[in-house]
Chains A and B, each alone.
Chain A
Amino acid sequence: MNKVNVSGLGITKFGTHEGETLKSLLLDACFQALKEADFPKIDAVYVGNFMSGSLGNQEILGAIVANDLSLGAIPTVKVEGACASGGIAFRQAFLMIQSGEYENVLVAGVEKMKGAPTEVITNAINAAMDNDSNEKHAGLTFPGFFGTVANRYFYETGASKKHLAYVALKNREYAIHNPIAQFTKPATMEDYMSARMITEPLGLFDCSPTSDGAAAIVLSKGENGVIVRSSGQASGTTQMQEASDLLSLPAVKESARRAYEKAGLGPEDIDVVELHDCFSMTEILSIEELGFFAKGTGFEAVEQGLTKHGGVVPVNTSGGLLSKGHPIGATGLAQIYHIVSQLRGTSCNQVEGARIGLAQNLGGTGAYSTVHIFEGVK
């Protein structure tokens, strides 16, 4: 099987882009990535996106990229996997080079969410749940799933809201140093505790924001710079009432197991992690599911600072979805952008000597997860 390396990276600022369209964000990120890769002959395009149809009445994103960047009559695909759209798109590109079908593939992710009213956005995001169910009709929202998880986690472990705060405040501290992050103003525990409630016990700082943004990566056959060591993907429950263990994310655990196994590595080998903190609670569960901390102890790890520089493993040194921002289709690729930067030694919040990095991207209420492991080979 072919080795696959990252040959180009591109990203826009995350946040509000007034006057920019979904297309211009997408093409800006793609152009940057192609330029860094020195414009190789691209064999295919994969675009991760979730809401361009429902919010922007725009599809055919793959063909638009090929056409507007003069890539020729190559195959293109848009990939939808809710918030894991980017990670799944990346996996398709990786597998196609690994198998020998293509040599250079452009992968991009984009979302334009700002400008629509919150209730419209909430409704569009709810498409990531099984809407043909009594659960949806009960009025469960997407954040509400993780609020329900948090209340049970508190009950079983003795954790409390301050533990969620440690996650949110850590990620904000990291975002302050990330030039593309949406939120770069310092926040205090008082700011956190006094923020308005969204879905108890989750308040404003516990929920990732709506964002505009795009990220793009060129993958190539080869063994230079940063290589993709492995790719794992899994599916999980699509309804809260069907979860056999509400305090687990089986898709995260299984996608990690597959990626660790293929790479011949374990959690102890990972130097830096970007994981899917769509909510502060999700980060606590995911550090457990990825094997960094035992089940039911993630809240103690964040309290002890074990997910920061100098701890067990620094997590979300980009600021995470919570503070870097969460343009849904772009998120999985932005995580990989950050991990590759860490392994190149050019990142904000650089982890000194980082050699192996992991990126985990979640979709829906645990419906999809991808895990990719990278190695800097210089």
Chain B
Amino acid sequence: MANIQVFECTGCQKQFVQRKWLCPVCKGTSFKKAEEEGAGKVFSFTRIHVTSKEYAHLAPYTVVLIDTPSGLRITGRLSEEVQINDEVKCVEQDGDAYIFEKV
């Protein structure tokens, strides 16, 4: 299983998948990098059939919105089909994309 890199506010410990400059919760300005387990449940998804040139060789593929046990919501990609509430895990990081598989 691969981990997800997160940015954690040193003031309120809120975690973000994307880098922040100002914490939307406590307005803190200091963040540290941390790693979270890349596993969770499918909140929603879409199976993409028509896409841009750089992803055309992957189509059809599934983009998923995952809720992790630690309260993060992360967008990732799967090659297979899924349903809402399916359990998935992150298996690799492909460039800046998180790739998931069904558990």
Contacts and interface: CB of A to CB of B under 8 A. Distances in A.
Interface of A: 118-120, 122-123, 126, 133-135, 137-141, 143-144, 147-152, 155, 196-202, 239-242, 246
- The residue among B48, B84, B97, B98 with the most chain A CB atoms within 10 A of its own CB is B48
A148 B53 contact: no
A151 B46 contact: yes
Contact of A242 (B18, B45, B61): B18
Given A137-B96, A139-B51, A144 B18 contact: no
Nearest to B17: A241
B47 A199 contact: yes
B43 interface: yes
Contact of A120 (B53, B76, B95): B53
Contacts, number: 108
Interface residues of B, number: 31
Interface string B47-59: 1111111111010
Contacts of B65: 148, 152, 240-241, 246
B89 interface: no
A140 B45 contact: no
Interface string B8-32: 0000000001100000000000000
B77 interface: yes
A151 B44 contact: yes
Contact of A119 (B44, B56, B75): B56
B52 A199 contact: no
Interface in B55-90: 55-56, 58, 61, 63, 65, 73-77, 84
Contacts of A239: 18, 75
A224 to B, nearest CB: 46
Interface of B: 17-18, 43-56, 58, 61, 63, 65, 73-77, 84, 94-98
A172 B41 CA distance: 38
Contacts of A119: 51-53, 56
A138 B51 contact: no
Given A139-B61, A199-B46, A123 B75 contact: no
A139 B77 contact: yes
Nearest to A124: B52
Nearest to A238: B18
Contact of A134 (B44, B53, B75): B75
Contacts of B17: 134, 241-242
Contacts of A135: 75
Nearest to B53: A119
A197 B61 CA distance: 13
A152 B54 CA distance: 27
Given A139-B55, A139-B58, A241-B17, A198 B63 contact: no
B75 A122 contact: no
B15 to A, nearest CB: 12
7 cross-chain pairs, A with B, having the tightest CB-CB distances, nearest first? A147-B46, A152-B44, A137-B97, A137-B96, A135-B75, A123-B52, A200-B47
Contacts of B45: 148, 151
